[in-house]
């Protein structure tokens, strides 16, 4: 027999051997457990280690441990007392206040599902009482576990959903439960978001306290002799006092800086706060990061109360701040200035986190009127420019190394944009003259400095715009801006010229120069700019040939390091968004470009040149216009044509007449149907009827379209087909010119003096009758004659 089979079957027993039964063998345990078995295992039979894990206790020690270690473990278990929700304090930064029990997390997950169902839905009567009881039970379970709940990655978002449903009293209870742990809380990754939500809601509570509006529980608290719950004003003062020694460090902390900036905004009266709704978020980007807003949006955080009340409408109105807190913001800013030196301020200005804090402090300086004082933050960041202008207003400052470097760095450009937009007029002119004049040809095409230049263009006057145009033209005619897709300065020029109402023709000529558009090819202006291609490049793409080579050398050397960094960032963004990548154009096809479309939209507000742009638009083939109407990018240009008040009505009518035979194709498209709604709202009565009559033959087909059926309900084409007069009166608001005669005829007597019905009334009755009515009337008359016979 093979050896392998012997091992599997076992050794054979000989006849003379005595076989011992299994029952006579006494099996001794190989392991002895000295620890008492947890109570969870006595009824279920679970392994002691598993039961200890479920109960939140450490695993029982093995036999190899010494007796001294066992004694210490028993003594420690006796000192800890009964099991709690948290598993004891941990030094780990991810759970600074302990880890919640899995059963508690499961409970809060159920709470979250219920909040999602009720969030933002109004309630009345018994249903409202049920929701209030639900809140009471959740708060009772949350008592004494607020800190670990707010730092847990799973339950912190549940607490954020719950806070908008609490009244002023509940918010004060939550704030008081955090005690003196505010610094640890705002430094935490998830706890900082809970604090941001709580602070945003606390602003409304402060506003009501300033107006002497108190919750119902306040009167009961005053009458009792027990410990009183602190007011929201007192809580904010305690927070400021607890953080006063570490404001400088927190302003550069990635998680603590946003709550600190929000606290500064709350202490500023009449300043709007970021909304709690995930779809709105923080528009200025100084509070919540893009990653935070994206996380809240993915979690579908609506920021609304489950009781159906408006969560915090006062945050968008003028807020009041209690008198005890009005001077606290200045105390914080003064303490920051005292603790940080000039070098530290400059380093914070280019820091990815601290730059937002510096920008907010600059806004406060401008509001307080301290920007032009010596030693101000403006003076520090401009390297003494404010002091130099105060001593000699006619002085010509020289460029300094700090701002020259900040102007061309990715993070520093944010700071420079803030300086240009907030600087007083005298400081702005000095900054523009020192760092931009004579260099705009290069800065307009720089991957980072072009955004700063665009921010400065928004404050230029007529003379400054003319100087800028000449500088851009001097750099290869400006075609490099189109080829590199650096159009921020051009777009800012268009918007500024439209605002001032001057230099509009000069801006149009600059665009001709950038596109290399010949004088006799002005009709190609819109397609070239919409594709953001120069005219030779556009023609080469349409013909399917190679792009023309650029034989001219650039006048100035490009910033290779910045160009390489921007290109790498563009490749990374394209790789991250590869699932939502835009469709590639086919051979001989040019897709609309977002930047070019934005420039064209801005030109619609320029009353002197928008006619030239619309003439170029209407000179294109109908297929091109249909492509524009169906594109999610270029369709906004048509919206601007019909909505902008600077566009004359004749140009709108011209576009409508060109598309008169193609409205069916437009309203059947997802994007085109939205364009059709804009056209319908701006069309007069004559054009509405003309458009509607072209669609009447296609009513059945349009009714089956998922997009066109909504327009059919709005236009009521079937009513126009059956009763045109009623349609004009209902849709157009135009009454028939014989309507007043109809009213008079209805009021006139139906019978004359002899009791015979008037002949005019008979004729009108016969005119209003249909063929079917006349047919049945004749049948009735014949039946009546037979009966008489």
**pLDDT tens column, 487-509:** 999 999 999 999 999 999 999 99
The encoded tokens of residue 521 equal 């090819």
- 357/59: higher pLDDT: 357
What pTM, to 2 d.p., does this model score?
Answer: 0.75
The pLDDT tens digits of the residues spanning 227-241 come to 688 999 999 999 999
User: Strand runs (DSSP E) across 29-157, as ranges?
Assistant: none
Model confidence at 142, pLDDT cuts 50, 70, 90, reads confident
pLDDT at 743 over 60: no
The encoded tokens of residue 131 equal 């929701």
Q: Are 232 and 213 in contact (CB under 8 A)?
A: no
Q: Are 275 and 300 in contact (CB under 8 A)?
A: no
What pLDDT does 732 receive?
80
What pLDDT does 143 receive?
86
CA distance 779 to 774: 9
pLDDT at 296 over 80: no
pLDDT at 652 over 70: yes
pLDDT at 671 over 60: yes
Looking at 74-78, 115-119, 467-471, 720-724, which range is the least confident one?
Answer: 74-78
What pLDDT does 773 receive?
66
152: left (phi over 0), alpha (psi -120 to 50) or beta: beta
Specify the 3-state DSSP secondary structure of 428.
helix
pLDDT at 350 over 50: yes
- Dihedral angle over CA of 530, 531, 533, 536, nearest 10: -100
The mean pLDDT of 168-191, rounded to a whole number, is 91
What pLDDT does 293 receive?
74
DSSP 729: I
The mean pLDDT of 431-450, rounded to a whole number, is 91
The pLDDT tens digits of the residues spanning 402-436 come to 999 999 888 889 999 999 999 999 999 999 999 99
What pLDDT does 735 receive?
59
CA distance 683 to 687: 6
What pLDDT does 338 receive?
87
What pLDDT does 184 receive?
92
pLDDT at 84 over 50: no
Burial of 266 by CB count in 10 Å (0-12 exposed, 13-18 middle, 19+ buried)?
buried
- CA-based torsion, 467, 472, 476, 478: positive or negative: negative
What pLDDT does 28 receive?
39
pLDDT at 314 over 50: no
What pLDDT does 2 receive?
46
pLDDT at 754 over 80: no
Residue 229 CB contacts under 8 Å (≥ 6 apart), including other chains: 169, 172, 173, 176, 217, 221
What pLDDT does 78 receive?
39
The mean pLDDT of 683-711, rounded to a whole number, is 91
What pLDDT does 72 receive?
42
Distance of CA 614 to the CA centre of its chain: 32
Model confidence at 79, pLDDT cuts 50, 70, 90, reads very low
Most confident listed range (35-44, 247-256, 274-283, 595-604): 595-604
Q: Are 494 and 556 in contact (CB under 8 A)?
A: no
The mean pLDDT of 477-492, rounded to a whole number, is 91
CA distance 735 to 185: 68
Model confidence at 25, pLDDT cuts 50, 70, 90, reads very low
Q: What are the backbone dihedrals phi and psi of residue 555, each rounded to the nearest 5 degrees, phi first?
A: -70, -35
Residue 661 CB contacts under 8 Å (≥ 6 apart), including other chains: 694
The mean pLDDT of 697-725, rounded to a whole number, is 90
pLDDT at 7 over 50: no
What pLDDT does 651 receive?
94
- 512/775: higher pLDDT: 512
Q: Are 358 and 349 in contact (CB under 8 A)?
A: yes
Residue 152 CB contacts under 8 Å (≥ 6 apart), including other chains: 95, 99, 100, 105, 190
Q: Are 169 and 217 in contact (CB under 8 A)?
A: yes
Scanning the structure block, which residue is given the tokens 């700090």? 402
Model confidence at 606, pLDDT cuts 50, 70, 90, reads very high
Residue 375 CB contacts under 8 Å (≥ 6 apart), including other chains: 387
The mean pLDDT of 639-649, rounded to a whole number, is 94
What pLDDT does 299 receive?
78
Mean pLDDT (the chain) is 79
Q: Are 534 and 528 in contact (CB under 8 A)?
A: yes
Q: Tell me the helices (H) and strands (E) count for the chain, helix number first.
A: 48, 0
pLDDT at 24 over 50: no
Q: Are 223 and 311 in contact (CB under 8 A)?
A: no
- 144/8: higher pLDDT: 144
Provide the angle, in degrees to the nearest 10, between the axes of the packed helices 649-658 and 635-643.
140
pLDDT at 756 over 50: no
Q: What are the backbone dihedrals phi and psi of residue 757, each rounded to the nearest 5 degrees, phi first?
A: -65, 140
H/E element, 419: helix 412-422
Looking at 175-189, 505-519, 573-587, 644-658, which range is the least confident one?
Answer: 573-587
What pLDDT does 92 receive?
46
DSSP per residue, 736-772? -TTHHHHHHHHHS-SB-TTSPBPHHHHHHHHHH--HH
What pLDDT does 733 receive?
75
Using only C-alpha atoms, what is the Rg of the chain?
Answer: 38
What pLDDT does 610 receive?
92
The mean pLDDT of 535-546, rounded to a whole number, is 84
CA distance 686 to 332: 64
pLDDT at 82 over 50: no
pLDDT at 726 over 70: yes
Alpha helices in 458-501 (DSSP H): 462-474, 479-483, 488-500
Model confidence at 83, pLDDT cuts 50, 70, 90, reads very low
- Of the chain, the percentage scoring pLDDT greater than 90 comes to 41
What pLDDT does 315 receive?
44
Looking at 296-310, 555-569, 627-641, which range is the least confident one?
Answer: 555-569
pLDDT at 46 over 90: no
What pLDDT does 475 receive?
83
CA angle 583, 586, 590 (to 5 degrees): 80
- Of the chain, the percentage scoring pLDDT greater than 70 comes to 72
């Amino acid at each position: 027999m093979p050896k392998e089979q012997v091992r599997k079957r076992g050794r054979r027993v000989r006849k003379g051997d005595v076989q011992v039964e299994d029952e006579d063998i006494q099996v001794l345990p190989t392991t002895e457990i000295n620890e008492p078995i947890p109570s969870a295992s006595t009824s279920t039979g679970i392994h002691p280690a598993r039961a200890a894990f479920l109960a939140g206790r450490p695993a029982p020690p093995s036999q190899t441990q010494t007796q001294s270690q066992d004694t210490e473990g028993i003594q420690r278990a006796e000192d800890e007392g009964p099991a709690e929700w948290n598993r004891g304090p941990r030094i780990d930064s991810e759970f600074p206040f302990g880890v919640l029990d899995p059963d508690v997390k499961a409970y809060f997950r159920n709470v979250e599902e219920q909040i999602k169902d009720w969030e933002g839905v109004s309630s009345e009567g018994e249903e409202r009482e049920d929701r209030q009881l639900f809140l009471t039970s959740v708060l009772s379970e949350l008592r004494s576990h607020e800190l670990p709940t707010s730092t847990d990655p799973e339950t912190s978002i549940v607490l954020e959903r719950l806070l908008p449903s609490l009244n002023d009293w509940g918010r004060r209870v939550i704030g008081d439960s955090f005690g003196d742990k505010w610094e640890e809380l705002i430094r935490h990754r998830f706890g900082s978001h809970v604090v941001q939500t709580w602070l945003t809601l606390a602003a409304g509570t402060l506003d009501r306290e300033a107006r002497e509006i108190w919750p119902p529980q306040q009167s009961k608290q005053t009458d009792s002799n027990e410990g009183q719950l602190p007011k929201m004003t007192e809580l904010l003062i305690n927070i400021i006092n607890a953080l006063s020694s570490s404001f400088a460090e927190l302003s550069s902390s990635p998680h603590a800086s946003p709550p600190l900036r929000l606290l500064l905004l709350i202490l500023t009266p009449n300043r709007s706060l970021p909304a709690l709704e995930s779809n709105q978020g923080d528009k200025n980007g100084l509070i919540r990061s893009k990653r935070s807003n994206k996380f809240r949006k993915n979690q579908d955080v609506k920021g609304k109360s489950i009781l159906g009340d408006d969560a915090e409408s006062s945050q968008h109105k003028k807020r009041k701040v209690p008198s005890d807190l009005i001077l606290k913001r200045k105390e914080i800013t003064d303490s920051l200035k005292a603790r940080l030196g000039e070098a530290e301020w400059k380093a914070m200005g280019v820091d990815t986190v601290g730059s937002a804090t510096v920008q907010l402090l600059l806004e406060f300086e401008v509001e307080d009127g301290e920007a032009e004082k010596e030693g101000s933050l403006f003076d520090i960041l401009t390297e003494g420019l404010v002091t130099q202008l105060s001593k000699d207003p006619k002085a010509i400052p020289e460029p300094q190394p700090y701002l020259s470097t900040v102007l061309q760095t990715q993070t520093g450009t944010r700071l420079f944009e803030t300086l240009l937009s907030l600087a007083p007029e005298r400081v702005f002119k000095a900054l523009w003259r020192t760092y931009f004049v004579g260099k705009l040809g290069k800065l307009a095409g720089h991957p980072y400095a072009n955004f700063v230049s665009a921010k400065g263009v928004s404050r230029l006057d007529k003379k400054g715009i003319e100087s800028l145009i000449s500088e851009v033209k001097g750099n290869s005619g400006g075609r490099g801006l189109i080829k590199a897709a650096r159009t921020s300065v051009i777009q800012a020029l268009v918007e500024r010229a439209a605002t001032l109402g001057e230099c509009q023709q000069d801006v149009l000529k600059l665009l001709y120069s950038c596109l290399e558009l010949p004088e006799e090819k002005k009709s190609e202006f819109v397609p070239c700019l919409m594709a953001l291609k120069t005219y030779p490049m556009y023609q080469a793409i349409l013909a399917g040939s190679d792009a023309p080579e650029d034989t001219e050398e650039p006048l100035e050397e490009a910033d290779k390091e910045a160009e390489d960094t921007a290109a790498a960032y563009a490749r990374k963004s394209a790789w991250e968004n590869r699932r939502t990548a835009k469709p590639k154009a086919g051979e001989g096809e040019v897709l609309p470009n977002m930047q070019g479309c934005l420039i064209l939209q801005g030109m619609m507000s320029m009353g002197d040149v928008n006619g030239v742009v619309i003439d170029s638009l209407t000179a294109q083939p109908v297929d091109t216009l249909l492509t524009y109407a169906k594109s999610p990018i270029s369709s906004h240009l048509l919206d601007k044509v019909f909505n902008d008040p600077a566009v004359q009505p004749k140009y709108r009518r011209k576009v409508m007449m060109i598309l008169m035979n193609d409205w069916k194709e437009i309203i059947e498209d997802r994007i085109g149907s939205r364009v059709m709604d804009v056209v319908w709202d701006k069309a007069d009565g004559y054009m509405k009827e003309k458009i509607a009559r072209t669609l009447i033959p296609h009513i059945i087909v349009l009714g089956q379209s998922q997009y066109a059926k909504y327009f059919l309900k709005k236009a009521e084409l079937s009513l126009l087909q059956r009763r045109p007069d009623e349609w004009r009166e209902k849709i157009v608001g135009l009454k028939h010119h014989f309507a007043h005669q109809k009213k008079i005829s209805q009021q006139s007597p139906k019978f004359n003096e002899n009791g015979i019905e008037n002949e005019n009334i008979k004729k009108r009755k016969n005119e209003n009758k249909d063929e079917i009515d006349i047919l049945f009337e004749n049948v009735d008359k014949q039946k009546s004659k037979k009966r008489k016979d």
